Amino acid sequence: MRYRPWKRKVIKKMNCLIYSRVSTEEQAEKGRSIDDQIRICEKYAKENGYSIAGIYKDPGKSASTMNRPGLQDLLLRCKEDKSIEAVLVQDTDRLARNTYDHLQIKFYLKKHNVKLISVSQPMLSDDSPEAEFIDVVIAGANALQSRITGRKTAKVLEERVKEGWWHGWCPLGYKNARADGKNIVVLDKERAPYIKRAFELYSTGNYSVEALNDLLYQKGLRTRDGRKLSRSIMTNILKNPFYTGKMLYKGKIYQGKHQPITSEELFNLCQQVIAEHNQNAIRRRKYQYLLRGFLYCGECGSRIYAEKHKKPSGLVFDYYFCQNCGQSYSKVDEIEKQVAESFKIIQLPQRLIDKIVAKAKEILNQTHQEVDKDRQLLYARKIGLEKRRNVLETKLLDGVIDNDTYKHNTL
């Protein structure tokens, strides 16, 4: 008999992916952290002959939506990588907390020949009708629990708002902070003066939103990441009652505990200006004529219009004309000279002259005050930038940041 050397049979391990997720509310729960979930799944993979080909995480993400970066990357990997045979989760509510999304994910994985394995729910790994039924029941229970939790959370948040405490990210001009174990909102000393100035300037009616935004950008107002505010952000600032110390929540106004940046009177005045600007939106004209809108035809009483005419020589002339009757075209320069001569014979009474002078002085004084406020804003920004530079220099010298990071943050 011929001797054949014995060869150990090599068992090829199956490739799997691990998915873990935790919502903000679950961060502190024992055994529910991202690391705990991964550790449990890694143990299962080792004991059951799986080779881990990738780990996907969604920290601080709710399962009520499928628009999660980690989940979307995992599903794409399952579609493109034909070597993946299974997805491991600690339990099914890590994937989804509503029945429709759960079944949609499961059918998607099945379509690409990938098995969904819930480590803490082994009865669901079977492809039997009973297992599928139990899976749907558990998915429904998860969906119910998610909706109950959402309702409780919404109730808690509403009660906090009624007490005057804001939740979530605060508007520009304020900062989120912690005090006595509570999330509070405090003034952003760098940006709050600019927001206050925005209400003061806009309430005069002399600025459009675009002009106001451009002016404040020139004076130093920036978003939290150092960019110019968009028109929509500036509009939202001017419309937000939060800056008066109040909070708009689910269509209702509540009194907040945060410090107001502007007064209700000034805020209401700004709303009037916004309404007027919306109603009487200024149409930008291609050409400007001093008397446009003021002239009417002496023959028929119709409005006089203006337009440019280009001669064969290439010269361009401006004309006023009536569209309704056969009056001849008149050069703009000639008409405006006639009007200018007419103004020369007008004698203003001394009382009106005094009013004009007083108004001019008032405007001049207001301009000086605005210059002083602008100077204060620029000085405050200068101090803030110097402090920031000093902090960055200290970090650079201590080796906390490198030279490239220092240059990037000081440009």
Banded model confidence at residue 28, pLDDT cuts 50, 70, 90: very low
pLDDT of residue 304: 83
Token pair recorded at residue 175: 């900062």
Overall residue count recorded for the chain in this entry: 411
Residue 87 pLDDT greater than 90, yes or no: yes
pLDDT of residue 96: 78
Residue 181 pLDDT greater than 90, yes or no: no
pLDDT of residue 288: 66
Residue 20 pLDDT greater than 80, yes or no: yes
114 burial type by CB count under 10 A (0-12 exposed, 13-18 middle, 19+ buried): buried
Which position has the higher pLDDT, 408 or 367?
A: 367
How high does pLDDT run on average in the chain?
A: 80
Tens digits of residue pLDDT in 338-365: 888 887 887 788 888 888 888 888 888 8
Contact 186, 175 (CB under 8 A): yes
Residue 215 pLDDT greater than 60, yes or no: yes
Which residues 6+ apart lie within 8 Å of 371 measured at CB? Answer: none
The answer, as to whether pTM is greater than 0.75, is: no
Taken in order 143, 148, 152, 155, is the CA torsion positive or negative?
positive
- Tell me what the mean pLDDT of segment 19-39 comes to: 74
pLDDT of residue 263: 92
Write 320-329 long-range contacts (CB < 8 A, 24+).
320/289, 320/291, 320/295, 322/297, 324/297, 324/300, 325/297, 325/299, 325/300, 327/297, 327/299
Banded model confidence at residue 296, pLDDT cuts 50, 70, 90: confident
pLDDT of residue 360: 87
Which position has the higher pLDDT, 81 or 102?
A: 81
Which position has the higher pLDDT, 96 or 255?
A: 255
Q: Is 295 helix (H, G, I), strand (E, B) or coil?
A: coil
Which position has the higher pLDDT, 135 or 305?
A: 305
Which position has the higher pLDDT, 246 or 294?
A: 246
pLDDT of residue 80: 92
Residue 68 pLDDT greater than 60, yes or no: yes
Q: Is 248 helix (H, G, I), strand (E, B) or coil?
A: strand
Contact 197, 220 (CB under 8 A): no
Give the DSSP letter string of 24-83: GGGTTSTT-SHHHHHHHHHHHHHHTTEEEEEEEEEET--TT-S--HHHHHHHHHHHH-TT
